[in-house]
A and B are shown apart, each in its own frame.
Chain A
Amino acid sequence: MSPVPEVALREVSRSFFVGRPEEVRALRGVSLRLPPGDIVSVEGPSGCGKTTLLNLLGLLDVPTQGEVLWDDRSVAARSERERARLRLTGVGFIFQRFYLLPTMTARENVELPMRALGRPAAERRARADHLLDEVGLSHRRDAFPHELSGGEEQRVAVARALANAPGLLLADEPTGELDRANTDQILDLLLRVRAESGATLLLVTHNPRVAARASRHLTMEDGRIVGDGPGA
């Protein structure tokens, strides 16, 4: 289990196509602090910058302005190599578009982050099977992504995000493709993992049933955080 970081954004802006007429300001001066163990939901209209926010928190991207801090240390001060290591060991990303590797089976996708850490084959296989079982996919573990339904792919993505027991779980609409029963199952799983590990959990969602399980709610609009409050 990796240590749970305290992650913070300080006056962070992220623009695309800087200096060109089509410049997009996806985030505009966002400040935010995520104490370890927080369960946070993020809501906001399409294009308001939710995914961009997650990319910055998860060290996939660097801000155009401002600072991303992990345990009060600026991420910009770390090399790309160090950031990659932190992503591998410390961050579990459930991508909005799943991003499974198309040439690998469900089990191989889940094993991939463990393989990169050099975990023994038997150990990572056992853990992959256990995680796939947790998301209700033990019968589909040898299927390739193109053989899976959208909801099944999403559940493989959840299992993969949990593989290295990360301290920071970033879930971009983790239940967007799921029915009510599966939504509850995945939410239960994420919350149980969080309870066991003390990880910080950030959930982007449009689903009030999901938002209801968070203890803190962020509302975004047009690249800004316009609402930040405790659970309903």
Chain B
Amino acid sequence: MSPSRWTLRHHRLQAILAVASIGTAVALPVVLLSVGGGVSQHELSQLESSGYQLSVSAAGVHGISGAHALVSQIESLPNVAAASPVLSVPVDVFLPTGAVTPALAEGVIPGAFLATQGPTTAGLFPHPLPLGDPSDLAHFANGTYAGPAALDVLVASPFALDFGLGVGSTLMLGATTNRSAATPFTLTGEFGVPASTLGPAAVFAIVLPLSDLQQMTGFARAGGADGTLLDQADTVEVALVGPAATDVAAITAVQGEVQRLAPFYGVSALTDQANELRASIGVLNGFYLALSSVSLTIGLLFLGLVLVRRVEADRRTIGIRRALGLPAAQIALGLARDGLVLAAAGGVAGVAGGIAVVVGLARLGSGTAATAAGLAIFDPVTLGLLYAGVLFLSLGASAVAARAALRLSIPEALR
């Protein structure tokens, strides 16, 4: 008895097409919003769970010089738990088999490094880092590098697996491809590689004492003879003591003091970065919605066409209702109900389809796309708003159809 039931049954193909077009239109924003939101959220939580709150870095290509001195100054500030300099340099690894492979070397102070890592990263490393002198000062010896070098190195476990390395293996490391200029290091441990949105990035990473890497790569202090002040690092990460670590005022205070110690370098707080990231998430979501509005517009246009087409097909029935004098509002309501039913079905199909695409990609896909899909968040509020928006907009499509229905001349419609 409901005209809606009848028309939906008798125009099955049109109904399927309308549902499919709206479904496709809705699936796109579902995928974009859930994956985009998930990736951003993941980055945000990584930022928020990182083990350090401040980071010092030099602008441009210059590194931070006088790293050891700066670190001990920072560490003597109140509320600072640890300061960890990191120097990253690509080096060549000469393997026992005679092969050569490039690797990214990270020079660190063994005793400070883990204190500035978040729990996830820290868990990937052996505790304490088996890299000789924890303070890295014995070899550094006030910038003379006259003390005994540790010559210990940690390698990423995929790297070790690939080349059949184990604890005790000897690796020759050099800044150039010249094997005779390389330095022998002993492999004293392995570390795991974190899953990252961009795939396992640290597969070919190695970690060694800062002073050893500085000396090997020419970033050591040049004995003061020519007045250069290398002792270089790329960044210094600063971890605050427990309660201060989550106290924005304390972080800002320490940030100011570190900045005073290192006036030429940038000192940034992770809370700022998190805020920037949050702002950019908002911009991205807006962008995703704008992009999706194109597909939604097309889906709703299609719905409008289907409904207008239905008015054409049902002109006789509509003509009869109008001839009997049924109020126009009843006829318009019938169409609005048809439109809502189709939009609701399309919306469900789109949300389910979008979720299915993301889940399928996460399970069956590979590489970056699969990793990103794995981080997707299906926020019920966002999806609910999207769904409600589609229902609301379908009323516009129904209004177009209702207008067509009420403009039919009755004698024409009845012929």
Task: Write the residues of chain A forming the contact surface with B, with a CB cutoff of 8 angstroms.
Answer: 52, 55, 60-61, 80-81, 83-89, 91, 93, 95, 97, 99-105, 108, 112-113, 116, 160
Q: Which 5 A-B pairs have the closest CB atoms?
A: A88-B325, A87-B325, A103-B6, A99-B320, A84-B325
Most chain B CB within 10 A, of A55, A89, A99, A160, is at A99
Residue-wise, chain B 316-341 has the 8 Å CB interface mask toward A (1 for contact) of: 11011111111110100000000000
By the criterion CB–CB under 8 Å, are A81 and B325 in contact? no
Taken together as a complex, chains A and B put the C-alpha atoms of A104 and B324 apart, in Å, by 15
Q: Which residues of A contact B316 (CB under 8 A)?
A: 99
B3 within 8 A of A: yes
B414 within 8 A of A: yes
By the criterion CB–CB under 8 Å, are B3 and A87 in contact? no
B250 within 8 A of A: no
Most chain B CB within 10 A, of A80, A84, A116, is at A84
By the criterion CB–CB under 8 Å, are B326 and A84 in contact? yes
B229 within 8 A of A: no
| Contacts A99-B414, A101-B317, A116-B330; A88 near B1 (Cβ below 8 A) | no
Taken together as a complex, chains A and B put the C-alpha atoms of A93 and B326 apart, in Å, by 13
By the criterion CB–CB under 8 Å, are A103 and B3 in contact? yes
With contacts A86-B325, A116-B327 known, what are 6 further pairs, Cβ within 8 A?
A61-B411, A85-B325, A88-B325, A103-B1, A103-B5, A116-B325
B47 within 8 A of A: no
Residue-wise, chain B 374-415 has the 8 Å CB interface mask toward A (1 for contact) of: 000000000000000000000000000000000001110010
Task: Write the residues of chain B forming the contact surface with A, with a CB cutoff of 8 angstroms.
Answer: 1-3, 5-6, 316-317, 319-328, 330, 409-411, 414
Residue ID in chain B nearest A60 by CB atoms: B410
Q: Interface residues of A: mostly helix, strand, loop or mixed?
A: helix
By the criterion CB–CB under 8 Å, are B324 and A116 in contact? yes
Q: Which residues of A contact B411 (CB under 8 A)?
A: 52, 55, 60-61
Taken together as a complex, chains A and B put the C-alpha atoms of A83 and B409 apart, in Å, by 13
Q: Which residues of B contact A103 (CB under 8 A)?
A: 1-3, 5-6, 317
Q: Write 22 A-B pairs (CB below 8 A) sorted by A numbering.
A: A55-B410, A55-B411, A60-B414, A61-B410, A85-B325, A85-B327, A87-B324, A91-B325, A93-B323, A99-B316, A99-B414, A101-B317, A101-B320, A101-B321, A102-B6, A103-B3, A104-B1, A108-B1, A112-B326, A116-B324, A116-B330, A160-B324
Q: Which residues of A contact B324 (CB under 8 A)?
A: 87-88, 93, 112-113, 116, 160
Most chain B CB within 10 A, of A83, A91, A93, A101, is at A101
Q: Which residues of A contact B327 (CB under 8 A)?
A: 81, 84-85, 88, 116
Chain B nearest CB, measured from A17 CB (Å): 11
Q: Which residues of A contact B326 (CB under 8 A)?
A: 84, 88, 112-113, 116
Q: Which residues of A contact B323 (CB under 8 A)?
A: 60, 87, 93, 95, 99
